[in-house]
């Protein structure tokens, strides 16, 4: 009998439209011989309780608040419904950039210097000066580069912080690492091929991510000793953030030195997203459909 796979999509966060893009891709490419795909659009929080009744498994295509932060995962756990991706604790840890960076720096993982603003009119300008301009300003628990801005001088900082506060109640100010961005999926603790991201603009912003404006993606085989250090950082990140099932970990590499950027517990899953690109680079037997099946089976084994 086919498993009834509820594909949770939409949601209440600023990343709703991106969630719909990811989820429609998953709906289309699920293995129809193994699974019955059931679209479940989340428009308000209690939809998870009312609309997930009767499914065998929840394939979570939600992003951002009430998607990646562990809340939906907690509800599904309470309902005894197995679901894709990480559990409540690792989801929450990875979603909070400040917390994840603190944990990983304590564990010896290199990451850019940063500080967090909790009141938009109480910016630590001296602290930012100590970090050194330019800096990135971003919502602490945001994603998809929404309200992320590169600030080159003190005079522009307050405006960028105010913009980020529209999307979160904490704002991160992080040192700018002028390097190459790489993205590496991990499934069940195993490392998959590295994707190097080459945006046309200054950084990998929301337009570069979802409008494909001049962005190049290259499957990269890192040279030693960089490869060994990146792999050690990946395994440490997986362990310290208590990741499970699958995740995508992003880094910056400057002059051969890697820096942890963030961990994504529900990465974008359109057919053109980074995880499917990485998986497909392994060749035959690694289609987008095969990837979805693997993600479901790995998550099922952990949570069923």
Which sequence positions are flagged as catalytic? Answer: 15, 144, 210, 248, 250, 262, 264, 268
Residue 48 to residue 192: CA distance in whole angstroms: 32
- Determine the Cα–Cα distance for residues 131 and 208; give it in Å rounded to an integer: 27
Closest C-alpha to 292, from 34, 1, 19, 77 = 34
Greatest CA separation for the chain = 63
Nearest Cα neighbor of 153 from 189, 116, 128 is 128
- Residues 75 and 212: their CA atoms lie apart, in Å, by 35
CA-nearest of 256, 269, 292, 254 to 112 is 254
Determine whether 260 is exposed, middle or buried from the number of CB atoms within 10 Å of its CB (0-12, 13-18, 19+).
buried
CA angle at 211 for the pair 207 and 213, rounded to the nearest 5°? 80
> Structure tokens of 90?
């690792």
* φ/ψ of residue 111, rounded to 5: -150, 155
- In whole angstroms, give the CA distance from residue 192 to residue 196: 13
Residue 148 has phi, psi (to 5 degrees) of -100, 125
Q: Are 90 and 251 in contact (CB under 8 A)?
A: no
């Amino acid at each position: 009998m086919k498993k009834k796979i509820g594909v949770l999509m939409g949601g209440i966060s600023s990343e709703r439209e991106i969630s719909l893009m990811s989820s429609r891709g998953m709906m289309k490419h699920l293995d129809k011989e193994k699974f019955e795909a059931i679209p479940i659009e989340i428009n308000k929080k209690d939809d998870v309780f009312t609309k997930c009744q009767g499914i065998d498994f929840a394939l979570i295509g939600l992003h951002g608040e009430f998607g990646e932060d562990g809340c939906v995962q907690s509800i599904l756990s309470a309902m005894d419904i197995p679901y894709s991706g990480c559990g409540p604790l690792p989801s929450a840890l990875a979603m909070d950039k400040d917390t994840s960076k603190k944990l990983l720096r304590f564990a010896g993982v290199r990451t850019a210097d940063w500080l967090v603003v909790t009141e938009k009119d109480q910016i630590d300008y001296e602290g930012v000066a100590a970090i050194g301009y330019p800096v990135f300003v971003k919502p602490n628990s945001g994603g998809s580069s929404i309200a992320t801005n590169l600030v080159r001088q003190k005079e522009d900082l307050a405006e960028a912080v105010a913009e980020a506060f529209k999307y979160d109640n904490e704002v991160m100010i992080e040192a700018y690492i002028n390097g190459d961005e790489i993205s590496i999926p991990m499934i069940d603790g195993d490392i998959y091929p590295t994707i190097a991201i080459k945006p046309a603009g200054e950084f990998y912003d929301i337009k570069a991510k979802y409008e494909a404006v001049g962005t190049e993606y290259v499957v990269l085989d890192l040279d030693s000793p960089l490869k060994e250090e990146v792999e050690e950082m990946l395994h440490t990140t997986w362990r310290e953030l208590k990741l499970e099932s699958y995740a995508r970990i992003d880094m910056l590499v400057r002059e051969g030195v890697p820096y942890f950027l963030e961990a994504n517990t529900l990465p974008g899953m359109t057919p053109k997203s980074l995880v499917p690109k990485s998986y497909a680079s392994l060749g035959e037997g690694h289609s987008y459909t095969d990837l979805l099946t693997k993600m479901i089976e790995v998550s099922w084994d952990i949570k069923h």
